[in-house]
Chain A
Amino acid sequence: MLHGNITRRLFLGALGCLGALGLARPARALAKFDELRSPDPLVSNLATIFTHKDSAAVIGQEYLRSVPEEADAPLLVDMICSSLPKRRADLVGADLEELRELLRHQQRHDFEYGRTVKVNDWILSETEVRLCALAALL
């Protein structure tokens, strides 16, 4: 299981240790994302995958608090894409529906192979929390 268990205690602990750094990171990543937004349509596609982006962002924030090293939009996009069955270049051309279907499939796949993560004790798939994290960085 990725990153083991992210418990409330760990969240608080991580917050205590990271202090302002933990909160500052997404802001830096956001800057990176802005730079990235226009040249890579895949990123905007991935980032708009949620109908309720606010909800996803909250989950993403929780996740990034405990895994701050992933608070980096290009890194997240890479990680999400690397597990998808299509090459990144092909993904760029994929429409939103196709992308959604691929991601849904990947979520199930994550669960099947135990690639899950606990966020506030909820068992979620790695792909879904990374998508949430991406939403949080916007």
Chain B
Amino acid sequence: MLIDARSLPKDKVIETEVCIVGAGAAGIALAREFVGQEFRVCLLESGSLGFEEDTQALYKGENIGLPYFPLHRCRLRFFGGSTNHWDGWCRPLDAIDFETRDWIPHSGWPFSKSHLGPFYERAQSICQLGPFTYDVKFWENPKKSPRLPFKDGRVITKIYQRSPPTKFGEVYRNEIIHADNISTYLYTNVVDIETNNTAQTVTRVRTATLEGNKFWVLAKLFILATGGIENARLLLLSNKVQSTGLGNQNDLVGRFFMEHPAMFSGVFLPSDPHLPLGLYHMVQGKRTIGALTLAEGVLRREKMVNISATLIPVTRLGYYYKTSSRGVTSFRHNLRATRQGGAPDDFWKHLRNVLVDTDDVATAIHGKTLNPNFLAIRLYNHIETTPNPKSRVTLSDERDRLGQNRARLDWRLSAIDKRSMRRAHEIIGQELGRAGLGRLKVELGEDDTTWPSSLKGLSHHMGTTRMHVDPNKGVVDENCKVHGISNLFIAGSSVFPTSGPNTPTLTIVALAVRLADHVKKLVS
């Protein structure tokens, strides 16, 4: 059943067994699992079935940390949530991402990757991905698009699969709205989570529409699935009984915000301009992509966070390099000279030009004389970041149209993140050289605190209600239940204790499916 909350009578009280707040990847994955169950489910969604500016404006917030997207531009507030504009790249976290690593403060999940395996497999089909294998052997074509032949496996290739990308709100809408036991309320903003007077049990949630309508939902069990920033915001806003915010007895809610810092970090100049890189190229319609990463042993030995580097060919002069630079002019001059004397066939020639002035000449040579579609390869990196308690979501003094304090984001990174990234490039550079594949330029600077100006996030919001068995160290327990509250659960990447370098949505869905199994047992 689909209900427009604006048409409900004033101050209505709705009763149900399970109340899910938010219909994005996590909320919809949960709701689907409950279709046909013996219990009733209410799915409360702030938006409608399509984008509306007024509702989206509720996501506006403040950025006071590292440069970041405006908060209403890096997520979507309507049925389907941010999957309405996600890119669909998926990969489970790597095994090492789940481990407690003594060089990464606050690392470690309460379970290993193998525990999540069966849930990942279910998530794989929900995200409409291909066969559930991320083995490079399965995806590479050894003749046409082999992996790069690194020696000794210090640098390895990993595979991401691409979802169509599944718009959860479109693909699963009918299944959910036609389920007899599920009522979906649109235009429903949860504004407060109310508890008993010891804040140990949630009694009901208060909701409001932008038109001023209010109603309550009473349930046995509540699941917040409003996204990595909003889950924390909603707990902090629910402060009538627990004045610091629900579940925030240890000042952890909103802390440990993690994003995947993504940036151009290096240039790889292959010795052979015809090096087959098809496995790594991101081409329209392609369902897999290869990326470079380091072997677990290297990460352990070097005490690094995990990394992932995609290879992006520079195919147009001027995309990255300025055509008017001195380097290009001298290149053109050189090229004329070279044409008279023969084709530039020597890597040193290219490297010379690179080193003389700018980095564009080598690429220009490749582009003009060898393969017009190939200039050089840029490394686009995204890394795991160290959980940092100072990187956090708090409440801003500014309020939204519903009178709620907006989110304030202070995104921070740590020195180990930068050090790891630089070191990773040194290792990749060495291994490219060792395998005779080419040379790498590292574009990261030498210090551990500044970041390239190309630094961006990937709209992956993680960590703000982190999972830990110990209530002093986490907001939710290993079952995603908020510590100290008997019937409040959280779904989404806000529960990730560490981010890993891989995209989060497959893990979000795997955790949602796992939580659904747990809830089914609890409610029945």
A interface vs B, CB < 8 Å? Answer: 1, 5, 7, 50-52, 54-59, 62, 104, 107-108, 110-112, 114, 116, 118-125, 132
Contact = CB atoms under 8 A, between A and B. Distances in A.
Given A1-B426, A59-B351, A120-B441, 4 more contacts: A51-B348, A55-B351, A55-B352, A116-B433
B170 to A, nearest CB: 46
B348 A122 contact: no
A107 B352 contact: no
Contacts of A51: 345-346, 348
Residues of B contacting A: mostly: helix
Contacts of B440: 122-123
Given A55-B348, A58-B356, A118 B442 contact: yes
B354 A122 contact: yes
A121 B442 contact: yes
A29 B290 CA distance: 48
22 contacts: A5-B446, A50-B348, A51-B345, A52-B348, A55-B349, A55-B352, A56-B348, A56-B352, A58-B352, A59-B351, A62-B355, A107-B433, A110-B433, A111-B431, A112-B430, A116-B426, A120-B354, A121-B441, A122-B441, A123-B442, A124-B439, A125-B433
Nearest to A120: B355
Interface string B341-364: 000111011111111100000000
A119 B426 contact: no
B73 interface: no
B436 interface: yes
Contacts of A57: 352
A111 B430 contact: yes
A122 B355 contact: yes
A112 B352 contact: no
Contacts of B442: 118, 121, 123
A62 B353 CA distance: 12
Contact of B349 (A52, A108, A122, A125): A52
B428 to A, nearest CB: 9
Contact of A59 (B355, B426, B443, B446): B355
Interface string B416-446: 0000000001100111011110011111001
